[in-house]
Amino acid sequence: MSKKALPIVSAPTMVATLPVSGIKVKYRPFVIKEQKALLLAQESNDPDTVVQTIKSVLDTCSHGTLDFTSVPTADLAYFFIQLRIASVGPEVKFSIPCEKCGHDNPIAMSLEDVKIDASNVKRDVRITDTVGIKFRLPTVDDALEADTETESIKLLYNLIECIYDEDTVYKKEDYTEEEFVDWIESLNDQQAEKIKEFVDSVPELTHTLSFNCVECNHHQSRTLEGLHNFFRFGASA
Ligand SMILES: [Zn+2]
């Protein structure tokens, strides 16, 4: 006797527009087993486990349509927040210790208020009047690699698309990594400083909270930035 399969429970299909790349992603909210995986990852306190779990949940919930090798980290972080809102709701509650007296202050905020400013991304940096570098935005895989990589120059190398001058574009694939790294290391301080214009313009998920301490009334503000800061809101209501 074959028994009937359990009934299929359909999930709503939603669409998010990723603010940095403009990509539209169809997704469904996460289910209990994914919520459990997120909680376990959170408890592991291991950054690699956290990122791998987020990737796997985002992948399943977006029906495998996200290309993790090209979607910027900020977009993934934004998408994760949208998923959390769709699955658990926008409200989060946590506490922040007062910077003056250390008293724990209860904070309630809406994840709907978390923004990404992608208006000033500077992927093209001129390091002299005639020579420039074009960069691509970092992905979570770059972040994973950066964790294990002590030299930030390797990360920088990974992010370069090409170097150019007045009449030539020097594509990365035509040179060895060593040739490019040597070239970066031959820059002087002032020229290397220009690269910071790109680094500083990389968009991140941010939210600034202002509050008065319930104990000493001291006014203060705190800025939450980056995926790791928002991940802790992931699965718990
Ligand atoms: Zn205080």
Domain ranges across the chain: 14-116+205-233, 124-201
How many A from CA of 108 to the centre of ligand 1? 17
> For the whole model, what pTM was predicted?
0.84
How many A from CA of 94 to the centre of ligand 1? 16
pLDDT of 46: 86
How many A from CA of 95 to the centre of ligand 1? 12
How many A from CA of 93 to the centre of ligand 1? 19
> DSSP label at 223?
E
pLDDT of 34: 92
How many A from CA of 107 to the centre of ligand 1? 14
Q: How far apart are CA 117 and CA 121, in angstroms?
A: 9
pLDDT of 1: 66
How many A from CA of 110 to the centre of ligand 1? 23
Tokens 């990509």 correspond to 23
Q: What are phi and psi of 234, to 5 degrees?
A: -45, -65
Q: What is the pLDDT of residues 153-199, one digit of tens each?
A: 888 898 999 999 999 999 999 999 999 999 999 999 999 889 999 98
Tokens 């998923």 correspond to 83
172 close to 134: Cβ distance less than 8 angstroms? no
Residues of the chain with pLDDT under 50: 149
Q: How far apart are CA 225 and CA 205, in angstroms?
A: 6
| DSSP track, 129-183 | SS-EEEE----HHHHHHHHH-S-HHHHHHHHEEEEE-SS-EEEGGGS-HHHHHHH
How many A from CA of 222 to the centre of ligand 1? 14
